[in-house]
Amino acid sequence: MSKLVTIYGGSGFVGRYIARRMAKAGWRVRVAVRRPNEAIFVKTYGVVGQVEPVLCNIRDDASVVSVMKGADAVINCVGVLAENGKNSFDAVQSEGPTRIARISSEMGISRMVHISAIGADLDSESDYARTKAEGEAGVLKYQPDAMILRPSIVFGPEDEFFNRFAGMSRMAPVLPVVGAKTRFQPVYVDDVAQAAAMGALGEAKGIYELGGPVTMTFRELMNLMLDVIRRRRLVLNIPFFAAKIMAFGFDMLEIVTLGLVKNGMVTRDQVKNLRNDNVVAEDAQGFDALGIAPTAMVSVLPEYLWRFRPSGQYDAIKESASNLRSS
C-alpha cells in the first residue's frame, strides 16, 4: 500500500500545493482541516480516494491523534496572520506545532515538515514572530530531525498579498502602504511546496529560509504589481507612528463590536512586523541547498493578476489593436 501523509492545514494557500505534489509522488494524502466540507476541491489532486479532507482542530490532542493514525509523515501548514477568537497566535502557531510534533513523536513518525516564516524570533515585539519561533522550538524539541521552512512573503494565484493590493488599486488613485522601504524576497508558492515535499519524502531535513531570486522594497513591489495590471497609482507611504495609531483604532473597533467588524486593514502586530526586512539571512540555508531554482515573480504575476487590469482579459487585445491602428 502507498504511504500516507497527513497535512494539517492542507487546503490553505500553501497546503494545497503541497497536497498536490505529494499526490503526484504517489502518496495517499489526508488533508486535516477545520471545515472539510469547504476543502472538497483537494480530492481532484489525485485519483479517487487518494486525497481526502478530514475534520481536525489542532488545538485538541484527540483531534490531532485521530487524523495522524497510520501516517508515515506529517506536515504542518497552519498559521494565522491575525488573531481570531480562540485561534490566537499562541494557540495556533506556538502550541499547535508543538502538539503535532509531540504526538507524531509518540506515534513513532520520524518525518515532519513545519512551515514557519522568515523573521521568527523569540525576542520579537511582534506576537506573530514570537509565536512562530516558539512553534519552531516546540517542533525541534520533539522532532529534532524535522524540516522547518521559513518562507518570505509567498505569492501565487490564491495569495493574499498581490491580490489584495491589486484589488485596492481599483478603487482609489492612491495605494497606501506601511513600511514602503521594508525589503521583501517574495517566493513562489509551488517552490515552497517542492521544498516541503522533499522533507516529507525524506530527502532533506533542517532549517531553510526560502526567498525568491529578487529582493525589493514594499514600494517597488507595489510598482511592479501596478505595471502588471497596467494602472497608474501613487504609492503612499504611511509613517509607522501614524500606522500605529490607525491600527490601534481598527483593533479597538473589532473589540468593541465583539468581532462583528473585523480589522481587515492593518493590526498593531502587523505594524510591528513591517518594521523589519523580510529577506533570507546571509548565513541561512536556502533553495540552493535543496537544489531548487526559485521562480521569478515576473513570470507568474501576469498569469493571475490580469483580472485587475482596466479591461481584464481583453486588455491585451485592446493594446494589440491599438498598435495595429497606429502602424
Question: Residue 116 belongs to a domain with what CATH number?
Answer: 3.40.50.720
Are 248 and 270 in contact, with CB atoms under 8 Å apart? no
Domain assignment present for 308: no
pLDDT band at residue 36, thresholds of 50, 70 and 90? very high
Segment 174-192 shows an average pLDDT of 97
Segment 60-67 shows an average pLDDT of 97
pLDDT band at residue 326, thresholds of 50, 70 and 90? low
Segment 226-250 shows an average pLDDT of 95
Segment 123-135 shows an average pLDDT of 97
Contacts of 109 (CB under 8 A, 6+ apart): 68, 71, 72, 73, 74
DSSP 202: T
Domain assignment present for 81: yes
Q: What is the pLDDT of residues 37-62, one digit of tens each?
A: 999 999 999 999 999 999 999 999 99
pLDDT band at residue 322, thresholds of 50, 70 and 90? low
Segment 5-30 shows an average pLDDT of 98
Domain assignment present for 94: yes
Least confident of 75-79, 81-85, 150-154, 305-309: 81-85
Domain assignment present for 299: no
| Residue 8 lies in domain | 4-154+185-211+275-292
Question: What's the pLDDT at 204?
Answer: 96
Question: What's the pLDDT at 324?
Answer: 62
Domain assignment present for 96: yes
Q: How far apart are CA 73 and CA 285, in angstroms?
A: 22
Domain assignment present for 204: yes
Domain assignment present for 224: no
pTM (predicted TM-score): 0.93
Contacts of 324 (CB under 8 A, 6+ apart): none
Share of the chain above pLDDT 70, in %: 95
Q: What's the total number of domains in the chain? A: 1
Question: What's the pLDDT at 262?
Answer: 84
Domain assignment present for 326: no
